[in-house]
């Protein structure tokens, strides 16, 4: 699902006329709270009233703002990203002071628009503040904005680990959703009634975010980001949250493998290149390291499951006589076929692993960001198929993101531990960073590159 901030969106009058919002149960009493915002203004829009009421109750409040929102006006002719970062950081300081004068404000200054690559830093910041029995208030994980989704996932994971209640506030869902919309988790919805004092404080705080509610200048690229129609959703007498109790959070991590529907929906929500393979330096560098780790200059027959749109596939092709790539998402396969159309040694088809593991042997199997989508049983099957399909001189190259993702059954380290534990695989090379892990494994006994090329006995 995609949308634009300047689309007409769902009018507030439709939401106001829907009895479903007024009939929601009320949020429980105030408790120590950590309020997370992906960008300055999220805290005021989504939870400003709750923040004011919690502060008034005299309990401890921390407000964590992940990014400075410097990407809000990417085509501004008058304001640089650095200027916007400073401007918006000052705005959120003033807004939080109006809502909760004694709140502890934490500005993390993580990159706007790339929060998914800094989830570990966000997790560490929250982990130091969230305690058992406290309340975590965060953007809704399915708000259809990549930074909101990352912030929500990390908050849910920390809340589960710490035994805290989670309240998720929607921002853009009021714009792209509709009353009764099945894409929103109404069974978990609760409301926080706002008295006149809390509503007035929220209105004053929102006016501090001038960079978003007023044009930066009359020039194109400096338009208003938050229109009056959008702001109307946040002028209600109640704020709405999706609540998950601490005990329920611990049971939310899936144990079964993610199916094709998950990936179809993910591409539909996040676009043709949801992980930024084509434009992120992080991804380009990771591919370069993966290719550099290959222990031979050339391979006869290679297999790449989970090829997505074929960016790594096209680069692997120059090192392989034959390369088979598969992915469960039809749209991704179409993109991969287009990308490799001029490469006769590449064959791309639709399929998932381990169920659709191909016949035949391979001297190279590339498991790049695929293993953690499997449940434990399917991962064991995947690892075993990879090991058994290797030729005597074959290798498995595995590379996976190490930060936790609430929707994934496993994390990257668990995938690599399973590979290293298989009796038919032994480590040949390893590269570990905070963000990802790269392992090269071969049939034992392994032979180093220097040994293979005769440099050492």
User: Residues 351-373: pLDDT tens digits?
Assistant: 999 999 999 999 999 999 999 99
Looking up tokens 């990771």, which residue turns up? 286
CB burial string 306-339: b at 16+ within 10 A, e below: bbbbbbbbbebbeebebbbbbbbbeebbbbbbeb
pLDDT tens-digit profile of 105-140?
Answer: 999 999 999 898 888 899 999 999 999 999 999 999
Res 18: pLDDT: 94
User: How many CA atoms, within 13 angstroms, populate the side-chain half-sphere of residue 11?
Assistant: 3
Helix, strand and coil percent figures for the chain, each rounded to 5? 40, 20, 40
- What average pLDDT does the segment 78-91 reach? 96
Would you say residue 264 has pLDDT above 70? yes
**218 Cβ contact list (under 8 Å, min separation 6):** none
Question: How far apart (Å, rounded) are the C-alpha atoms in residues 152 and 361?
Answer: 42
Q: Are 339 and 309 in contact (CB under 8 A)?
A: yes
Question: How far apart (Å, rounded) are the C-alpha atoms in residues 308 and 328?
Answer: 8
- What average pLDDT does the segment 380-397 reach? 96
Res 247: pLDDT: 67
Peptide bond into 419 cis (omega under 30): no
Q: Grade residue 242 by pLDDT with cuts at 50, 70 and 90.
A: very high
- What average pLDDT does the segment 241-246 reach? 89
Q: Grade residue 1 by pLDDT with cuts at 50, 70 and 90.
A: low
C-beta pairs of 284-288 under 8 Å, 24+ apart in sequence: 286/399, 286/436, 287/311, 287/312, 287/315
Q: Lowest-pLDDT range, 52-56, 103-107, 273-277?
A: 273-277
pLDDT tens-digit profile of 158-185?
Answer: 998 888 999 999 999 999 999 988 888 8
Percent of the chain having pLDDT more than 90?
Answer: 77
Report H helices in 12-64.
Answer: 12-17, 19-22, 42-56
- For the ranges 283-297, 414-428, 437-451, the maximum mean pLDDT occurs at 283-297
Task: Report CA 10 to chain centroid distance, whole Å.
Answer: 25
Looking up tokens 């640089």, which residue turns up? 80
Supply the mean pLDDT for the chain. 93
Question: How far apart (Å, rounded) are the C-alpha atoms in residues 430 and 437?
Answer: 8
Res 256: pLDDT: 84
- What average pLDDT does the segment 251-255 reach? 61
Question: How far apart (Å, rounded) are the C-alpha atoms in residues 302 and 429?
Answer: 19
Q: Grade residue 313 by pLDDT with cuts at 50, 70 and 90.
A: very high
Q: Which two tokens stand for residue 318?
A: 């120059």
Q: Lowest-pLDDT range, 69-83, 243-257, 407-421?
A: 243-257
Would you say residue 402 has pLDDT above 70? yes
Higher-confidence residue: 434 or 378? 378
Q: Which of 282, 438, 452 is nearest to 366 (CA)?
A: 438
Q: Are 68 and 111 in contact (CB under 8 A)?
A: no
Report H helices in 259-375.
Answer: 260-270, 281-293, 311-316, 330-339
Res 2: pLDDT: 60
- What average pLDDT does the segment 28-49 reach? 96
Res 269: pLDDT: 81
Question: How far apart (Å, rounded) are the C-alpha atoms in residues 398 and 413?
Answer: 11
């Amino acid at each position: 699902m995609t949308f634009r901030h300047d689309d007409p969106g769902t009018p507030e009058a439709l939401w106001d006329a829907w009895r479903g919002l007024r009939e929601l149960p009320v949020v429980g009493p105030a408790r120590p709270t950590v309020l997370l915002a992906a960008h300055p203004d999220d805290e005021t829009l989504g939870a400003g009233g709750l923040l004011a009421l919690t502060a008034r109750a005299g309990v401890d409040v921390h407000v964590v703002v992940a990014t400075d929102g410097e990407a809000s006006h990417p085509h501004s002719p008058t304001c640089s990203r650095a200027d916007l970062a400073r401007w918006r950081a000052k705005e959120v300081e003033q807004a939080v002071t109006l809502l909760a004068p004694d709140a502890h404000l934490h500005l993390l200054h993580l990159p706007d628009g790339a929060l998914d690559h800094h989830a570990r830093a966000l997790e560490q910041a929250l982990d130091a503040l969230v305690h058992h029995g406290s309340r975590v208030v965060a953007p809704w994980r399915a708000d259809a904005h990549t930074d909101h989704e990352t912030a929500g996932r990390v908050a849910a994971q920390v809340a589960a680990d710490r035994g805290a209640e989670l309240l998720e506030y929607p921002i853009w869902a009021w714009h792209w959703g509709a009353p009764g919309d099945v894409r929103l988790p109404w069974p978990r919805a609760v409301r926080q009634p706002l008295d006149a004092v809390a509503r007035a404080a929220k209105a004053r705080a929102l006016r501090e975010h001038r960079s978003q509610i007023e044009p930066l200048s009359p020039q194109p690229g400096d338009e208003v980001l938050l229109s009056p129609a959008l702001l109307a959703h946040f002028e209600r007498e109640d704020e709405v949250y999706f609540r998950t109790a601490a005990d329920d959070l611990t049971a939310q991590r899936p144990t079964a493998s993610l199916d094709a529907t998950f990936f179809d929906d993910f591409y539909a929500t996040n676009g043709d290149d949801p992980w930024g393979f084509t434009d992120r330096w992080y991804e380009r560098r990771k591919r370069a390291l993966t290719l550099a780790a290959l222990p031979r200059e050339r391979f006869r027959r290679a297999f790449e499951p989970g090829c997505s749109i074929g960016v790594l596939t096209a680069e692997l092709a120059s090192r392989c006589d034959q390369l088979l790539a598969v992915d469960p998402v039809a749209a991704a396969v179409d993109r991969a076929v287009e990308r490799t159309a001029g490469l006769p040694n590449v064959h791309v088809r639709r399929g998932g692993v381990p169920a659709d593991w191909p016949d035949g042997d391979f001297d190279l199997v590339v498991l790049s960001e695929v293993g953690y989508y499997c449940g434990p049983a399917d991962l064991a099957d995947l690892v075993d198929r990879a090991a058994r399909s290797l030729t005597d001189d074959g290798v498995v190259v595995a590379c996976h993101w190490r930060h936790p993702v609430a929707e994934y059954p496993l994390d990257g380290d668990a995938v690599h531990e399973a590979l290293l534990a298989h009796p038919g695989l032994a480590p040949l090379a390893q590269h570990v960073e905070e963000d990802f892990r790269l392992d090269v494994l071969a049939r034992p006994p392994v032979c180093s590159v220097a040994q293979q090329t005769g440099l050492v006995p």
